[in-house]
Structure 1
Amino acid sequence: MSTQKEVQKEAGSVGENPVRLDEEKAAQIIDALNTDLADAYVLYHQLHKHHWNVAGAEHRDIHVFLQEAYEEIELAADELAERAQAIGGVPHASMATLSENATVEPEDEDVYDIRTSLSNDLEMYGDIIESYRQHIELAEGLGDYATAEMLREHLEDLEEHTHVIDHYLEDDTLKVDASN
């Protein structure tokens, strides 16, 4: 570990930025981005958990989907953090801070059937989607169109994931109809 003791930029601080976004406006957007960042890491870990534990007839397809989903979430988290830094902020980085600032509640440590797990994922995605919509409005209202556009692109990915999960949660089409 480094022995350097001089803090370069204090967590929670907002400074000037090269994109000339007013510091007060930037502070509001950085708070929103840090919330989205924290939520992204909670979702990332939950999707990863389900990826590890998926079982059943559709194991491979769901296993692959969940990996693609958590990898996209990780990329989005990186963009959120870099944008917060670019507009003068300090992105949350410690697990304690991320956990403390997340607005979504992770599933517990137990392993559930994949239908329950995906239902829990769908619920978390829905909460995050609602938050993104609010943060897009906030960024646009404060004149930060670049952040709004970035969030809009992430929102499309989140909505696509919910669409896929919703399909996985449909009634099993391979069941035999006992009434025939």
Structure 2
Amino acid sequence: MSTQKNVRQQAGTVEENPVRLDKEKAEQIVEALNTDLANAYVLYHQLHKHHWNVEGAEHLPLHKFLQEAYEDVEEAADEVAERLQSIGGVPHASMTALSENATVEPEDEDVYDIRTSLSNDLEMYGDIIEGYRDHIELAQGLGDPTTAHMLREQLEELEEHAHVIDHYLADDTLVTDA
């Protein structure tokens, strides 16, 4: 690790921004987006864990779905971080900052059956979806339609993934225990 210290902007600060969003409003949005960013990385790692550990008759479709889901979450996190920076904020980037600022609880290190894993994922998706709705309203209310629009688009994808997981958890299945 480098010992050079040429800090351009301290973490936790918000500077004037080129999109001319009022600094006090930007501070509130930056805080909300950093929460979304932290939650995204918790979800990303949990989905990735389940992607690695899925077994059983439905392994392949679940393996592929979970990969698509975590890749979508990673792409959304990147978009959130770039928006944060564009409105004068500093995106959380260290594992410490991400874990301290997440409002969702990750599953522990144990490996669970896929039904339990997906139930845990669905619960986390639900919590993140609720947070997004609040943050869309916040951004819109503070006069930042661009952030609200970005979050709306991401919310649509989050809801779709939650819907698919809910279908995987349905009792109706062609797979039987032999």
Corresponding residue for 1:161? 161
Q: Where do 5+ consecutive residues of structure 1 fail to align? A: none
Q: Note the alpha carbon deviations across 1:3-54, whole angstroms, 9 max, x for none.
A: 4212110001100101000000000000000000000000000000000000
Corresponding residue for 2:111? 111
Q: Note the alpha carbon deviations across 1:39-73, whole angstroms, 9 max, x for none.
A: 00000000000000000100000000000000000
- Asked whether the 8 Å contact 2:30–2:89 carries over to 1, the reply is yes
Are residue 133 (structure 1) and residue 130 (structure 2) matched? no
Corresponding residue for 2:144? 144
Displacement over 4 Å in runs of 4+ = none
Are residue 120 (structure 1) and residue 120 (structure 2) matched? yes
How far apart are the structure 2 equivalents of 1:161 and 1:175? 22
Q: Give the number of aligned pairs.
A: 176
Highest Rg: 1 or 2? 1
One-letter amino acid of the structure 2 residue matched with residue 150 of structure 1: M
SS of alignment partner, residue 63 of structure 1: helix
Aligned ranges 1:1-180 → 2 under 5 Å: 1-174=1-174
- Asked whether the 8 Å contact 2:57–2:175 carries over to 1, the reply is no
How far apart are the structure 2 equivalents of 1:144 and 1:17? 13
How far apart are the structure 2 equivalents of 1:135 and 1:19? 19
How far apart are the structure 1 equivalents of 2:33 and 2:133? 12
- Asked whether the 8 Å contact 2:122–2:166 carries over to 1, the reply is yes
The percent identity for this pair of structures is 80
